[in-house]
Amino acid sequence: MPDRVEHRYGPAGIRLVTASFHSHHFVPHAHSEYAIAAVERGVEAVRYRGGTEHAPAGSLLLLDAEAIHAGRPAVAEGWDYRVFYVPPELLAELAGHRPRFTAVTPHDPALARRLARLHRAAAPLPALEEALSSVLARYSGAAVAEPAEPATVRRVRRALADDLQHTPSLDELAALAGMPRFRLLRAFRRATGVTPHGYLLQLRLRHAQQLLAAGHPVARAAADSGFHDQSHLHRHFRRVFGATPGSFARNDVQAGRRRGS
């Protein structure tokens, strides 16, 4: 069976994804939002925080914002899930602090069914906030302070973000950082989980996603985000998101677009 992904946009900027994956392997990537998923069928294997977690049907999948992860089928039939991609500011407001999930794949069939039901019904914001608060109460704590990022890595990240159209060589980035190439690679991967070029790809994909969500055509999203053409964008979208760029086109649910609507 072919893989299937559907994107919708709910209230308060929450992105709603319904997906059925049978063979897709996600490359390491991160989302700007928190991911809260209810697994409805099969089992997903998730590479996260240096280990591999398994999320069978009846489980939640809980990923922190900006956390590098990868996924693949853990059984021959793959897996189905419904995912809430929640803006960090909304989850922080509900928690009273910037939360960090303390469990990645808790088996909680009742809460998983509740989340799937709300997702399927495109529930209004108050109902979603109540359910998300239940997730936070059971499976989160205050975020642990991260080690200070090296100034050299921060300098390279800012340079990459400032010009998505340019693909700098490793020699160019090493000169900017003021260190040998392979020392920079090790430092950057240790701080971000990916190489500088992998980080640039994530920035480009995120920018393209934002343009598509705002209603811009795929050609515009590809050109403005630094991709060679639409096929280049399409290929990387498939590898990272398991979906085509067109599936990210704005499609607001009837529950309303913003808090209180």
Q: What percent of the chain has pLDDT over 90?
A: 66
What pLDDT shows up at residue 249? 67
What pLDDT shows up at residue 91? 94
Q: Three-class SS string for 77-110?
A: CCEEEEEEEECHHHHHHHHCCCEEECCCCCECHH
Q: Beta partners for 86?
A: 34
Is residue 135 a contact partner of residue 86, using CB atoms and an 8 Å limit?
A: no
Coil vs helix vs strand at 72: strand
- pLDDT higher than 70, residue 109: yes
> Which fold would CATH assign to domain 4-142?
Jelly Rolls (2.60.120)
What pLDDT shows up at residue 247? 72
pLDDT tier, 144 (very low <50, low <70, confident <90, very high otherwise)? low
Sketch the domain layout of the chain as residue ranges: 4-142, 151-248
Average pLDDT over residues 103-120: 97
The top-level CATH class assigned to 151-248 is mainly alpha
Q: What is the pLDDT of residues 173-203, one digit of tens each?
A: 999 999 999 899 989 988 888 899 989 998 9
Q: Is the dihedral of CA 219, 222, 223, 224 positive or negative?
A: positive
| 167 vs 16: CA distance, rounded Å | 32
Q: Which residue stretches of 193-249 are H helix?
A: 196-213, 218-224, 230-241
Q: What is the pLDDT of residues 47-59, one digit of tens each?
A: 998 899 999 999 9
